[in-house]
């Protein structure tokens, strides 16, 4: 079939310009959605009396057959050289049905067609993302259930800070991924808008029933302004933005897994199926999957900024620059969904080494803040308590002993407020139990949170 825009030109496109311009090699991913768009649009053309019932049936029959070939992965896109997926589908219909195929594009443009295809694709992929996020949330919840009473060194600046229960640490990531889920739900709502019927930029001349088309394609809303509909890629930005934040969360927890898995810290064992060996060092068991997910975050954040930069100087409405929105988006979708899936599986393979975790609790004067709070409850201003405990920590470090091994008589040289009950404070169990506030690390509060999560899950 001749170029759909060829009538205006005396010469064909330069061969190298074709390589730069043609997009079938990657927008073939939209084939299924493009066929669905053509089916819905043809129905609207029939309603508008542009097509007869017989013509609609012929188009539908061919498109249904083509859709099955595509979904069954039996269609060979490499055998075709059309400019893009829209040109290819129209060409196939025209080759099969003659002039009837040429009528199918009436009242629409590639401008509204491509953005409709893209929205359909992204709606489907957001569902996949949400399903994988649910897997992550459930895996974290299950792991947290197992460690409500496992006391763990909480850190700031990656320095020993205060004891927490391990479940509390894990549920911190549960909260982050829960917010990610809300962002993807919002992205779905933004994507769930049908722009078809906007044509090139101004709307169409045929009175096409846009509500009918939207319903046919499974959209809940139609776009309110044809110029905005054509130029809008906010929904892409919302998805890649949500993906960037989600991957940042994945990267943070994977960084912790990498550290915990190191023999230098040795808190966890990651399952063999999520580690690899070294080509030269036979003792190595590398946390490669966690590292790869951590690395993918850079790729996805980069793609988000690519999309932002693409849009920043575009005047209304369609510009060919928008062809470049697809490859970064496809890359984000593929890598985010694969990362979430692998992470959810990897979490299930973790084994925590409780003996090593307990040994780590005994380092770094982790109970120092408990002593300061003890003095405050005895009536000392917090800043004075902080100063005293800082001095005590210096001494125990010099003596290479733990705070709980410090003699009462030595405590009392710093303040007469110290009594025998100081040793009731100097326990890891007491330290976590004392944080009995909503959102705190006390086991009873963590169990409260787990009960709330169970209802949501």
Q: Which of 157, 249, 339, 415 is the catalytic position?
A: 157
Q: Are 274 and 342 in contact (CB under 8 A)?
A: yes
Q: How far is CA 59 from the centre of its chain?
A: 39
- Whether 278 is catalytic is yes
Residue 67, C-beta contacts closer than 8 angstroms, at least 6 positions apart: 32, 35, 36, 39
**Three-state DSSP class for 165?**
strand
In the chain, what's the furthest Cα-to-Cα distance?
101
Give the H/E segment covering residue 343: helix 326-348
**Three-state DSSP class for 151?**
strand
Token output for 30: 């939209």
- Whether 41 is catalytic is no
**What count of other Cβ atoms lies within 10 Å of the Cβ of residue 44?**
25
Residue 314 per-residue DSSP state: P
Q: Are 17 and 77 in contact (CB under 8 A)?
A: no
**Three-state DSSP class for 161?**
strand
Q: Which of 54, 81, 262, 278 is the catalytic position?
A: 278
d(CA 43, CA 8): 30
Cα separations in angstroms, 308 against 27, 78, 114, 252, 328: 20, 31, 19, 24, 11
**Three-state DSSP class for 14?**
coil
55 phi/psi in degrees, rounded to 5:
-65, -40
Q: Which residues are catalytic?
A: 157, 278
């Amino acid at each position: 079939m001749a170029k759909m825009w060829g009538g205006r030109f005396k010469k064909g496109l330069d061969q190298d310009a074709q390589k730069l311009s043609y997009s079938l090699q990657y927008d073939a991913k939209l084939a299924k959605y493009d066929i669905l768009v053509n089916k819905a649009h043809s129905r609207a053309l029939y309603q508008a009396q542009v097509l007869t019932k017989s013509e609609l049936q012929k188009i539908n029959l061919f498109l249904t057959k083509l859709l099955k070939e595509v979904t069954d992965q039996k269609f060979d896109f490499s055998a075709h050289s059309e400019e893009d997926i829209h040109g290819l589908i129209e060409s196939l219909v025209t080759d099969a049905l003659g002039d009837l195929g040429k009528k199918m594009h009436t009242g629409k443009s590639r401008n509204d067609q491509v953005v409709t295809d893209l929205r359909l694709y992204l709606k489907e992929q957001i569902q996949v993302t949400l399903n994988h996020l649910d897997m992550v949330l459930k895996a974290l919840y299950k792991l947290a259930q197992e460690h409500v009473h496992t006391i763990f060194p909480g850190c700031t600046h990656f320095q020993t800070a205060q004891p927490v229960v391990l479940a509390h640490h894990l549920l911190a990531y549960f909260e982050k991924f829960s917010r990610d889920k809300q962002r993807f739900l919002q992205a779905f709502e933004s994507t769930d808008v049908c722009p078809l019927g906007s044509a090139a930029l101004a709307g169409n001349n045929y009175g096409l029933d846009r509500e009918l088309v939207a319903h046919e394609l499974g959209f809940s809303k139609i776009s309110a302004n044809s110029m905005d509909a054509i130029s809008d890629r906010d929904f892409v930005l919302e998805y890649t933005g949500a993906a960037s934040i989600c991957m940042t969360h994945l990267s943070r927890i994977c960084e912790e897994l990498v550290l915990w898995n190191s023999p230098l810290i040795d808190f966890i064992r990651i399952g063999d199926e999520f580690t690899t060996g070294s080509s030269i060092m036979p003792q190595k068991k590398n946390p490669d999957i966690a590292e790869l997910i951590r690395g993918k975050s850079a790729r996805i954040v980069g793609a988000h900024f690519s999309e932002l930069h693409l849009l920043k100087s575009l005047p209304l409405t369609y510009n060919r620059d928008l062809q470049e929105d697809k490859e970064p988006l496809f890359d984000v979708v593929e890598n985010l969904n694969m990362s979430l899936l692998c992470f959810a599986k990897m979490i299930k393979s973790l084994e925590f080494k409780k003996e090593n975790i307990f040994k780590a609790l005994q380092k770094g004067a982790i109970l120092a803040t408990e002593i300061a709070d003890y003095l405050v409850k005895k009536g000392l201003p917090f800043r004075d308590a902080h100063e005293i405990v800082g001095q005590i920590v210096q001494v125990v470090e010099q003596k290479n002993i733990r705070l709980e091994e410090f003699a009462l008589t030595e405590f009392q040289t710093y303040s007469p407020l110290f009594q025998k009950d100081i040793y009731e404070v100097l326990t890891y169990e007491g330290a976590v139990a004392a944080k009995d506030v909503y959102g705190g690390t006390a086991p009873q509060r963590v169990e409260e949170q787990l009960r709330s999560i169970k209802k949501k899950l």
